[in-house]
Amino acid sequence: MLPKLVQTSLRCNPSSLLARNFSSLSTSSFSSSTSTRPRSSFDLPDPRTSMSYQKSLDYTSNKWNPQLSKIVATIGPTSEQLDVLQDVVRCGMRVMRLNFSHATVEEVELRVKNLRACKGRHSMITSNEEVVTTSTGESTIHKNVRAILLDTRGPEIRMGKLANDHSGHETIHIESGAEVTLCTTDDVRDGGSTADKLYIDYSKLASCLSPGMKVLLDDGAIILTVTKIGIDGTSVICTADNSGELRSRAGVNLPGAETDLPAMSAKDRVDIKYGMTKDVDYVAASFIQNAEGVREIRAYMEECAKELVKEGQWEEGKPLPLIISKIESQSALSHFDDILEESDGIMVARGDLGVEVRAHNLSYHCIQTYDVFTFLHSSPQIPIQQVTNAQKEMVAACNAAGKPVIVATQMLESMAKNPRPTRAEVADVTNAIYDGADCVMLSGETAKGKYPVQTIQMMNEIISSAEHFTKHSMPGPNLQARERFVRGQKEREIRGLIGRSDVTKTVDSALASATVAAAEERDAAAIMVLTSQGVLPRLISAYRPNVPILAFCDNTKVAKQLMLHRGVHPIHVGDELINTPTAKRGVRAIQYAKQFGMVQEGDNVVVVARESATESDGLTADFATMKIATVP
């Protein structure tokens, strides 16, 4: 079935194509005594208007209705205390981002400690922990599997600390037309930057710039034009193109300049090793330029693991943090395919990605071209008009590779100061969900904004509305993402990245495809996966089902590292299911899900697992099984 689907012309309507193929698979393989087949999202939408559908939604229902796309939230001074963080978790944060560009060790310690003290529905279920029911009827226990993402500072270039900035919140004013000298000497390094003399922490600044080039400060808030290079080779004289305020340690971008920044700074190395002692689940690698940078970070983590094992701070064989490569430069876009292949996931970091732009480089061709990546690969700059197009291309590529993708930066930025977002921000989040993003991310809105809890709640509601719409009225985006993955797997096989003889991967992929078809055919409330390494939940997620995937894991690390994947809700059950007889594991999983309100009596569920059986003659065989059940 899959090869036929892959070989079909892309000019066909992808929605009807997938509906035809998956529906036939479902009908032939999973027949039942029921005479009428329930409507599934493989079908074309019924002729209801979107407005009538929106009126039919009940947002006040207490029934568990989880969002499929996840929220990554940066935790900072306004959200790090336990009571606020508990509300942030309750409202939908699945992954806590720690921004190591700003956070101190003490702040990280507090945030990690408080996150692990939070309670939530998606929690570690063990037989020796008592389930507590709150006044709202929500089940909680003492631990949770919210994941932690360590976001490195990266080999970026930054300003120094401003003079007399004791609070860390002071700014200086730069006037348009003023002369500003950029220095790399130690005499202005710590607290010596003023409006006419700024410290820049890149020693080769003067050698990579020339008169006429631009220097962008604080995400382009201040634009400087280079007028002269200092004769001492440690300073660059510039003129300010515009007026504005600057804060301490603001980021610096050098559009068009050739730099030799490493994949990791010395600070990154210290931070990554420290993060591993705190058991972080992901490392977001900032300013990745190429695939070699990803390999370098992974090799470094392997070295750290060996050292930490000797120090008793790491378990032998424990999974390393997964690497999420941040795409935020022209170089990264040019090497995107190779970076994606080496990475465990991608973050579309739209802030820096959209900073390095010159208006005079734009042309009718670059704005009108359909092949966005071809233009971006060949252009020395990234036109800001193309950032959204690049986002869509990268999300689609991640869907095809079956790897999680996070869309980040300025998603609900106005809520840092206001209790409600702008309509444009709502549209931005909604369209990221339509594009196929596994996660959307909040930065300053939750780290230092006035309304961190309300921001999470609002994003959750936007995601819910977008997913309801794509499920019931416009299923095209999910079907297209599913088709991209099927095509992507076939292309990887052709390129030799997946061998035909790799039985485990091909069997698991077939099982994942059939599972999604069965869930849609039977109108299942959930897909339940019993997993030890997380392979099956990831594959099932790649086929974009419209129902939650409950991943029952016997390993906490595996559970947390599933959190970024769309639709996957990991539940850590320790050895409980392993010690349960094989024939009863599915029943026990259903009992867990029902106990926590994830499914209800009468719901259809699809239970998937890999099992092994041994005959009396000693022959052992592994089986991939799928069962359809009704919750008693």
- Which of 592, 573, 570, 446 is closest to 147 using CA atoms? 570
**Three-state DSSP string of 147-194:** EEEEECCCCCEEECCECCCCCCCCEEEECCCCEEEEECCHHHCCCCEE
Provide the b/e sequence for 46-68 (b: ≥16 CB within 10 Å): eeeeeeebeeeeeeeeeebebbb
Tokens of 13: 């309507």
Beta carbons within 10 angstroms of residue 233's beta carbon? 13
* Coil vs helix vs strand at 456: helix
Radius of gyration of the chain (CA): 26
> Helix 476-494 crosses helix 14-29 at what angle (to 10 degrees)?
80
Selecting among 111, 143, 326, 566, the annotated active-site residue is 326
For residue 83, what are the CA distances in angstroms to 4, 457, 458? 54, 16, 19
The whole-angstrom separation of Cα 185 and Cα 164 is 19
**Three-state DSSP string of 87-131:** HHHHCCEEEEEEECCCCCHHHHHHHHHHHHHCCCCCCCCCCCCCC
Q: 381 near 358, Cβ under 8 Å? A: yes
Phi (first) and psi of residue 81, to 5 degrees? -70, 150
Residue 49 known to be catalytic: no
Tokens of 329: 């430069």
Residue 158 known to be catalytic: yes
- Is residue 579 exposed (0-12), middle (13-18) or buried (19+ Cβ within 10 Å)? exposed
The DSSP result for 540-599, as a single string, is HHHT--SS-EEEEES-HHHHHTTTTSTTEEEEE-TTTTTTS-HHHHHHHHHHHHHHTTSS
Is the backbone of residue 560 left (phi > 0), alpha (psi -120 to 50) or beta? alpha
The whole-angstrom separation of Cα 188 and Cα 163 is 9
| Sequence-distant (≥ 6) Cβ neighbours of residue 222 within 8 angstroms | 174, 216, 240, 242, 244, 246
- Is residue 484 exposed (0-12), middle (13-18) or buried (19+ Cβ within 10 Å)? buried
Residue 506 known to be catalytic: no
Selecting among 94, 158, 350, 538, the annotated active-site residue is 158
Angle (CA) 85 87 93, round 5°: 75
Residue 277 known to be catalytic: no
User: How far, rounded to the nearest angstrom, does the alpha carbon of residue 442 sit from its chain's CA centroid?
Assistant: 11
413: DSSP letter: G
The whole-angstrom separation of Cα 499 and Cα 492 is 9
For residue 270, what are the CA distances in angstroms to 97, 100, 276, 422? 18, 11, 10, 39
The whole-angstrom separation of Cα 62 and Cα 31 is 33
Selecting among 74, 152, 184, 409, the annotated active-site residue is 409
99 DSSP β-pair partners: 151
Tokens of 327: 């795409």
Q: 524 near 547, Cβ under 8 Å? A: yes
Selecting among 97, 146, 557, 610, the annotated active-site residue is 97
| Sequence-distant (≥ 6) Cβ neighbours of residue 471 within 8 angstroms | 41, 478, 546
Residues that are catalytic: 97, 158, 326, 409
